[in-house]
Amino acid sequence: MQYLSTRGNMAPARFREVLLEGLAPDGGLVVPSRYPRVTSVLARWRPLSYADLAREVLWLYADDYEPSALTRLVRATYTPAIFGSQSITPVVEIEPGMHLLQLSNGPTLAFKDIAMQLLGSLFEEELAHRGENLNILGATSGDTGSAAEVALRGRPRVRVFMLSPLGRMSAFQRAQMYSLQDANIFNLAIEGSFDDCQDLVKAIGSDLAFKRRHRLGAVNSINWARIVAQVVYYFRGYFAVTADESQEVDFCVPSGNFGNVLAGWIARQMGLPIGRLVVATNENDVLDEFFRSGRYRVRPGAQTHATSSPSMDISKASNFERFIFDIVGRDPAALRELWWQVDTQGSFELKDTPFWSAVVASGFASGRSFHADRLATIRRQYEHDRRILDPHTADGVKVAREHRRAGIPMVCLETALPAKFAETIREAIGRDPERPAAFRDIEQLPQRYEQLAADPERLRQFLQAHAL
């Protein structure tokens, strides 16, 4: 498998060469040269364990590993000890025909662990192989940061510099990240929104000389290996709710940076019989606006709403470029033209272009969920079966209900456990969510972070002083 850039100016590379990278050298995103079709092997994949299925999917995209090395890596990652059950991503029915794909039983209680735990092992192996060190620079709206830090803490050859929006995360999320005392972890609380954090990472990432000099890599959701790791659970979710491969299944995905649902798009392109991919947004509805109107209009960071599903408080969906690359027939010139419009006018419009029919055919649909919807959805589910949904998952369930189709199972992706967002749960149902024992009193632990202005120059100085 070869990898290309969406912007068209990268020499073809293999998986291991792009593993440590965020942006492609030309400012685009790394994409595989094609999506392998798997229709004929679905029946054979159905009974596989999570780890063995992950190996099959990865092998299609990472064929520069020895198969035995991949097997070893996935079997060490997808274990009940790390993810709490043999099935790794259990599926439960929350009302007739509507299912929850549980992705949040990893060490930091959000779906990001599924990809990040694998990435930790892949990075360590790759760096040892190359005899190199790496400084990870990332931005988080909460969950990516703790998933990355927990996956990389204490690993030799790696330092983690994680930017988070000061005061925008839940107390639990803050404690999860800022209480880590490992010397290779640096938490940088930025005076701004998540988009400001992301812009800082992009600003540094596009300074190629600086990036090389300080061996900077990325683990944010534009990292290709994370996307591939997420493709696996769409197959698992599909198999869990179907008896054979003739059935269609719809998925609903709470979305921010478009990383999670992009993995669903890739599974669909590979031939998994996914009918609709329903994107659920919160008050920050850039993606919903696009799928309804054809206009992709990013908002400045200052206009990003701080909501009670904070991990989706994003107004510029970084992975969206990979989807649009497919929509424009994988033509880098067309893609560059659209992103030039985003950079100069803040938006592009596909409705009256030849590309709109591809969007319509893509199976995407969308909807939004606001604070009151979120609370009502949490309350309704709790009254129904005493299950407590996390606020992001509740956004998904709310939007999924609006998109139910008779006879077609709907799978909602659970993106976090409610314990991470107790404030909102209390507001919805008047009680605290249960907290796994390992996290009792986590807010009382000493916290360690640096506060920084949203200024690329300040960040450069900090990295210069602390990078490996």
Ligand X SMILES: *Cc1c(COP(=O)(O)O)cnc(C)c1O
Catalytic residues: 112
Whether 30 contacts 21, CB under 8 Å: yes
Q: Is 112 in the site for ligand X (CB under 6 A)?
A: yes
Where do runs of H (alpha helix) occur along 78-223?
80-83, 112-130, 143-152, 171-178, 194-205, 208-213
Q: Is 312 in the site for ligand X (CB under 6 A)?
A: yes
Q: Is 433 in the site for ligand X (CB under 6 A)?
A: no
Amino acid residing at 259: G
**For residue 60, how far is the Cα from the chain centroid?**
20
The single residue among 21, 124, 126, 143 that binds ligand X, judged by CB under 6 A, is: 143
Q: Which residue has the tokens 């769409």?
A: 234
Nearest to 422 by CA among 414, 411, 434: 434
Contact range with ligand X by CB under 6 A, out of 248-256, 349-357, 376-384, 438-446: 248-256
Amino acid residing at 382: Y
Contact range with ligand X by CB under 6 A, out of 26-34, 257-265, 288-296, 400-408: 257-265
Q: Residue 105 CB, nearest distance to ligand X (Å)?
A: 13
Q: Residue 57 burial by CB count (10 A; 0-12/13-18/19+): exposed, middle or buried?
A: buried
The strand ranges marked E within 359-443 are 364-368, 410-414
Q: Which helix (H) or strand (E) holds 72?
A: helix 67-77
Q: Given the complex with ligand X, which of 180 and 394 has the nearer CB atom?
A: 394
Angle of helix 112-130 relative to helix 224-241, nearest 10 degrees, comes to 140
Q: Given the complex with ligand X, which of 77 and 255 has the nearer CB atom?
A: 255
Q: Is 170 in the site for ligand X (CB under 6 A)?
A: no
Whether 263 contacts 234, CB under 8 Å: yes
The single residue among 254, 367, 418, 433 that binds ligand X, judged by CB under 6 A, is: 254
Whether 127 contacts 157, CB under 8 Å: yes
Contact range with ligand X by CB under 6 A, out of 95-103, 127-135, 252-260, 403-411: 252-260
Q: Residue 22 CB, nearest distance to ligand X (Å)?
A: 14
Site for ligand X in 215-234 (CB under 6 A): 221
Q: What string marks each residue from 377 to 416 as x (binds ligand X by CB under 6 A) or -?
A: ---------------x----------------------xx
Contact range with ligand X by CB under 6 A, out of 39-47, 172-180, 193-201, 254-262: 254-262
Site for ligand X in 59-78 (CB under 6 A): none
